[in-house]
Amino acid sequence: MKQILNFINGEFVTTKKQFEKRTPVNNSLIGMVHEAGQGEVNAAVEAARAALKGPWGKMTVVERTDILNKVADEIIRRFDEFVKAECADTGKPESLASHLDIPRGAANFKIFADVIKNAPTEFFEMATPDGRGALNYAVRRPVGVVGVVCPWNLPLLLMTWKVGPALACGNTVVVKPSEETPSTATLLGEVMNACGVPKGVYNVVHGFGPNSAGEFLTSHQGVNAITFTGETRTGEVIMKAAATGSRPVSLEMGGKNPAIVFADANLDIAIESTLRSCFANSGQVCLGTERVYVERPLFDNFVVALKKGAEELKIGAPSESNVNMGPLVSQEHRNKVLSYYKKAVEEGATVITGGGIPKMAGDLNEGAWVEPTIWVGLDDSSTIAREEVFGPCTLIMPFDNENEVIERANSTTYGLAASIYTQDITRAHRVAGQMEVGLVWVNSWFLRDLRTPFGGAKQSGIGREGGVHSLEFYTELKNICVKL
């Protein structure tokens, strides 16, 4: 049986308490995860603190970033192992992991190595009453030990999105992967050792949230800053933990993202893009579209075309060819998604397609599959228009004018992302400017330049990551004033 271990101070660490990791593809057991207790979390934080004072803390930016470039290259060299591990944990198609999760996981080390080498700071020359003047300049210093708490939907990608800039800035990290997806974070430990990352710089502790590794890590006073991606409710708990010791948090949280399709939109582009935004990764993408507003003249055609596209999706195991949809991450998450499928019908939705569990062959029948699902016939007050489902499903609603749709799209406590489809460029800018979100795509979705700010407004997040914005969180900017 595969043992999925903690990685502390450069070594793989077993514990007495273990939990099962089953693949959602067919529910078979793929490994035993060694859960970190308070002792292991303490050891990981102590190792990370010590590493700040060791060779890592003394390296030049060039030395550090050379190592991070090696880490990226080593992930690519072991590409297939990473793909297999990610797909076994999540059930996602290998085609998706090979073009998104793993390449982006590697790219996150390269991009932030470049960012830190090229980021300028401020300089101000200042007059003083004695006429001699003073010079002010700012320098960046690492924050210290960063606690990194991760979700399960894009495990390596979202973890390295934090670990890449944290390490580039000279910090050390203790990562708590999701209990659902422990494998690639552990594999990355091997990569770190192979690339000469000093011991204690990158640590991994496995376990759950409350009364487990997540809580032990976020409440540990040796952790200087906490970066989190996951549900809004969990983010609020972590923010409270961070308040003790006045530690900064970066929170990437849930969404209930709208797409707005105007009648003048290019229908093919809108359908192709919305199919991805609703169903990619089985709808388990924080940026995914769960509400589609379509201008009334286009409504019927749009519903027919999206239904056709959803019904053409090939559902299957990760390694099957041409598969574009896998299972949900777990049986537990499937139960949650199916409860929303039920609730939608109870509240009066018309099911355009899906709504249940697909028939799968052989042992796949034991997996956490659900059908891609489209509803119409409910309004903004319905449960599925308000709550994040995080599954392959969307509610399509008609609208009649621009002001109305802006107000409706914004009528949510979340504020992560929005997509707008129109060929009227002036309208695109006008509407984009009024969306209460952190990210707007026009005639596209999930098109990411990693130098741009990423994060959510309202209850979708606090802070921005990406490019120089990540440096704001992962460094302390210090002003040095020199009297001449």
Q: Which of 35, 286, 290, 295 is catalytic?
A: 286
In the complex, minimum distance from the CB of residue 375 to ligand NAD, in angstroms, rounded to a whole number: 20
Sheet holding 257-261, edge to edge: 350-353, 373-376, 393-399, 289-295, 257-261, 417-421, 439-442
Beta pairing class for 29-34 and 202-204 = unpaired
Residue 230 binding ligand NAD, by CB under 6 A: yes
416 interacts with ligand NAD by CB under 6 A: yes
How do strand 6-8 and strand 11-13 relate by DSSP bridges? antiparallel
- Judged by CB under 6 A, the stretch of 6-14, 53-61, 207-215, 428-436 that binds ligand NAD is 207-215
96 binds ligand NAD (CB under 6 A): no
Active site residue 481: no
From the list 206-214, 296-304, 421-429, 474-482, the region that binds ligand NAD by CB under 6 A is 206-214
For ligand NAD, the binding residues in 440-459 under the rule CB under 6 A are 456
Residue from the set 24, 165, 198, 209 that interacts with ligand NAD by CB under 6 A: 209
With CB atoms as reference, the residue minimizing the distance to ligand NAD is 209
CA distance 446 to 442: 10
Residue holding tokens 């016939």? 377
CB 406 within 8 A of CB 398: no
Given the rule CB under 6 A, which of 226-234, 394-402, 403-411, 439-447 is the region that contacts ligand NAD? 226-234
Task: Print the binding letters for residues 306-345 with ligand NAD: x by CB under 6 A, - otherwise.
Answer: ----------------------------------------
Rounded to whole angstroms, the Cα distance separating 207 from 41 reads 10
* Helix 425-434, helix 402-409: angle, nearest 10: 40
Measured from the CB atom, the residue of 170 and 466 that comes closer to ligand NAD is: 466
Name the CA dihedral angle for 154, 157, 163, 164, rounded to a multiple of 10 degrees: -170
Shortest spacing between CB 283 and ligand NAD, in angstroms: 11
Q: What is the DSSP letter of 313?
A: P
Interface with ligand NAD (CB under 6 A), residue from 96, 102, 148, 150:
150
- Interacting residue with ligand NAD among 93, 164, 189, 254 (CB under 6 A): 254
Q: Which residues have C-beta within 8 Å of that of residue 39, sequence separation ≥ 6?
A: none
Q: Is 253 in the site for ligand NAD (CB under 6 A)?
A: yes
Nearest-5° angle of CA 43, CA 49, CA 52?
Answer: 140
Stretch (H or E) spanning 398: strand 393-399
312 is an active site residue: no
**Token code pair at residue 424:** 């009227």
Question: For ligand NAD, which residue of 6, 234, 257, 330 counts as binding (CB under 6 A)?
Answer: 234
User: Token pair for residue 397?
Assistant: 């609603």
Regarding 391 and contact with ligand NAD (CB under 6 A), the answer is no
Question: Is 179 a binder of ligand NAD (CB under 6 A)?
Answer: yes
Residue 164 as a binder of ligand NAD (CB under 6 A): the answer is no
Question: Does residue 466 interact with ligand NAD by CB under 6 A?
Answer: no
Phi-psi region of 74 (alpha: psi -120 to 50; beta: other; left: phi over 0): alpha
- Residue type at position 213: A
Work out the burial of residue 436: count CB atoms within 10 Å of its CB; fewer than 13 is exposed, 13-18 middle, 19 or more buried: middle
Shortest distance, CB of residue 282 to ligand NAD, whole angstroms? 12
Torsion angle of alpha carbons 301, 303, 305, 306, nearest 10°?
A: 160
Q: Check 215, 252, 295, 465 and give the catalytic one.
A: 252
Q: Which amino acid is at 299?
A: F
Please tell me whether residue 226 binds ligand NAD under the rule CB under 6 A. Answer: no
- 149 contacts ligand NAD (rule: CB under 6 A): yes
Among 19, 79, 137, 208, binds ligand NAD (CB under 6 A): 208
Q: Site for ligand NAD (CB under 6 A): which residue of 153, 282, 289, 412?
A: 153
- Does 151 bind ligand NAD (CB under 6 A)? Our answer is yes
Helix (H, G, I), strand (E, B) or coil at 318: coil
What residues line the site for ligand NAD (CB under 6 A)? 149-153, 158, 176, 178-179, 208-210, 214-215, 218, 229-231, 234, 237-238, 252-255, 286, 388, 390, 416, 456, 460-461
Residue positions annotated with a catalytic role:
252, 286
